[in-house]
Structure 1
Amino acid sequence: MSGAIEFEDYAEYRGGPSWQARWVARAMRWTARPGLDIVASIARPWNIGLPSVLDYLAAVIPVPRGTRRNIVRLDGHRAEWVSAATAPLPAAGGKAILYFHGGGFLAGGYRSHRRLVAQISAAAKVPVFNVAYRQLPRHTVGDSIADAIDAYQYLLEHGFDPAGIVVAGDSAGGLLAFSVAPMARRRGLPLPAGTVGLSPLLNLDYTALLGHANDRTDSLLSAHSVRTIIEVGMARLGPIDPSWSPVNGELTGLPPALIQVSSTEVLRANAVLMAERLIGAGVPVRLQIWPGQVHVFQAGADILPEGRAAIAGIADFVRGLIDRDSAATEKVS
């Protein structure tokens, strides 16, 4: 009998899909996915930056009652502290979630993801540092990664203990989240307590997505859309550095990770590959596969029971990491 770790040993299949999830997936498949495919088909270097305006439109999305917010100006970009009514305000020595929004490095910002991070803050009872990093078409993915590690360093410089920081992100933001710990190690900085990826994009080599079975079942993203972002948005600025893909990094010694992904989405291939490589490097990882959900279904927590359950799972993972250090300190004292 071999000692090889089988997929079933580390993949957790969660509940669902609920009738709400099936309805949302069907609606997305008939509206959002064809729309994104059309946009991808007409994308050119001169118009690929148009989705960036969506973040300003998202400012009208309400946040849960009692949520506190505070804008922070960083070097060349901004972030926003989001603290739910159940979470303390950010303070030196306190806990924090460092969050990076999705949007294919083209769309989104702290406005578009404000409600989602507020819900995560409420569940985890931790303030969230929600970062609006530089994006395409004016800036490379390398610039986005630089903004991610700079945001982490900002927290350290303002008194946050790395053992109380968990880095998280969805979709393209998941790539940034999984880039922080390796970049921190290169800079000689202490590592964060853990990393969370929600439907993360972790490999800019899209060839594995072409012809993948989930390219037919994903309700929102197609391999065509992902390829367009990479070829029209990223490659026009110069060669794509393989080191930008977290799956290619030196993973040994990284903090524990949680990855949540839908069973039917095309980026499941990224999630599985990253989990396999983390396990091979000896890094504790939980891969949660949620049947029949849309891409980043956690953002639909207001109507999706699986979204609420996933956010609760994120909160449990975060608290399990950041409370561990506090418990150890109390035991010693």
Structure 2
Amino acid sequence: MQPPEVADLYGAAGDAEVGAFTPVDHAAGWKGLRRAYERMLTTVCSPAPGVRTEHVDAGGVPALWVRPQDRHPANPVVVLYLHGGGYIGGAAAAGIDLAARLADAVNGQALAVDYRLAPENPYPSALDDVMCALRWLVERTGHETKIILAGDSAGGALAACAALRARDEGLAPAAGVHAMSPLADLSLGSPSIDEREGTDAAVSRDLLTDMSACYLQGRDPQDPYASPAFGEFRGTPPLLVHAAANEALVDDATRLVERVVATGGNATLRLYDDEVHAFPLFRFSPDAAEALAEFGRFAHSRLNRTAPGG
């Protein structure tokens, strides 16, 4: 838990993140952190009235269809939404609000995936589940449907990893990838993690170390399917990456974009001042609406294109 003055820097979103994890939660280990994260999301990120949800078995993986009010189920744009939580927390149900706003930005619908969590289900369980849901979505909706991969924090990294694995397995590419404050390097090699220590309302090296260890359980932290900052991105769909300029994972976001471009892919980075980690989660965050609008423009620019990286 960060000192209260950190929240003052970032307004209501900072208040939510600072107050999310109590000493009791930390004392309970990963179970306490999981409980606290879901409590925060369900308390401050409740969906707007009119959002409809439907439980579905997505190729053996539980998921939720999320449809904003008056959105027709047959709309051929689907956001495959992957929640955050450092691989140890979060749930599709807790991310309904962001999934709905992402869907609304593309005039479509979202499929929020309840991938398995660590430490009970270590790497690559989460990515395996995402790929099962992606294959199911392609088979169910057909090639006329345009799919956008999107996620926040760990979910943002998963979205990029799914794009890599889809290319390697010969699956039809998504139209684009939107990664919000991605946890892109589980070796925790980004300088900003230490440079922002004590000033990031949500993220610290100790917390990231616990999350990485729970998920990897001895696997190589530089495996590109776990840490997309080490991936080769030629032939993958374009990425739009958002992050807060002063968050601990800002270098993860920057390095991911640099790696995509250096290895033949297409990526755009937008940093927002005076924001918190994964700020689009909070609809009341000052820049959330602008970030979602930019995502909408990015997605719509991709919907009539089929060539990856174009």
Distance in 1, matches of 2:304 and 2:156, equals: 23
1:65 equivalent to 2:49? Answer yes
Change (3 A) 1:186 1:211: closer
1:24 equivalent to 2:12? Answer yes
Of 32, 44, 58, which residue of structure 2 is paired with 1:74?
Answer: 58
Distance in 2, matches of 1:295 and 1:256, equals: 22
Distance in 2, matches of 1:263 and 1:87, equals: 34
Larger radius of gyration, structure 1 or 2?
1
Matched ranges for 1:204-243 at <5 A: 204-209=186-191, 212-231=194-213, 233-235=214-216, 237-240=217-220, 242-243=222-223
Q: Give the TM-score, by structure 2 length.
A: 0.85
Give the ranges of 4+ consecutive aligned residues of structure 1 lying more than 6 Å apart after TM superposition: none
Partner of 1:317: 298
Return the letter of the residue paired with 1:79. Answer: A
Change (3 A) 1:86 1:291: farther
Answer yes or no: is the 8 Å Cα contact 1:24–1:294 preserved in 2.
no
Change (3 A) 1:154 1:30: closer
Partner of 2:289: 308
Answer yes or no: is the 8 Å Cα contact 1:87–1:121 preserved in 2.
no
Matched ranges for 1:154-169 at <5 A: 154-161=136-143, 164-169=146-151
Structure (1 or 2) with the greater helix fraction: 1
Change (3 A) 1:25 1:323: same
Aligned partner of residue 165 in structure 1, secondary structure: strand
Aligned partner of residue 71 in structure 1, secondary structure: strand
Which is worse superposed, 244-253 or 205-214?
205-214
Deviation at 1:126, TM superposition (A): 1.1
Matched ranges for 1:103-114 at <5 A: 103-114=85-96
Partner of 1:184: 166
Deviation at 1:241, TM superposition (A): 5.0
Answer yes or no: is the 8 Å Cα contact 1:37–1:225 preserved in 2.
no
Aligned partner of residue 305 in structure 1, secondary structure: coil
Q: Extract unaligned runs of 5+ from structure 2.
A: 1-7
Deviation at 1:205, TM superposition (A): 0.6
Which gives a bigger RCO, structure 1 or 2 (Cα 8 Å, sep 6+)? Answer: 1
Answer yes or no: is the 8 Å Cα contact 2:52–2:67 preserved in 1.
yes
Answer yes or no: is the 8 Å Cα contact 2:190–2:249 preserved in 1.
no
Deviation at 1:49, TM superposition (A): 3.1
Distance in 2, matches of 1:153 and 1:199, equals: 25
Aligned partner of residue 283 in structure 1, secondary structure: coil
Equivalent pairs counted in the alignment come to: 296
Answer yes or no: is the 8 Å Cα contact 2:160–2:177 preserved in 1.
yes
Return the letter of the residue paired with 1:239. Answer: R
Change (3 A) 1:131 1:29: closer
1:143 equivalent to 2:131? Answer no
Matched ranges for 1:261-300 at <5 A: 261-300=243-282
Q: Deviations over 1:250-308 (max 9, x none)?
A: 2112111100000010111101111111111232211000001011111111x223111
Answer yes or no: is the 8 Å Cα contact 2:52–2:66 preserved in 1.
yes
Return the letter of the residue paired with 1:84. Answer: P
Deviation at 1:165, TM superposition (A): 0.9
Change (3 A) 1:103 1:30: closer
**How much identity, in percent, do the aligned residues show?**
26
Distance in 2, matches of 1:215 and 1:122, equals: 35
Aligned partner of residue 113 in structure 1, secondary structure: helix
Q: Give the TM-score, by structure 1 length.
A: 0.80
Partner of 1:16: none
Change (3 A) 1:86 1:286: farther
1:196 equivalent to 2:196? Answer no
Answer yes or no: is the 8 Å Cα contact 1:83–1:121 preserved in 2.
yes
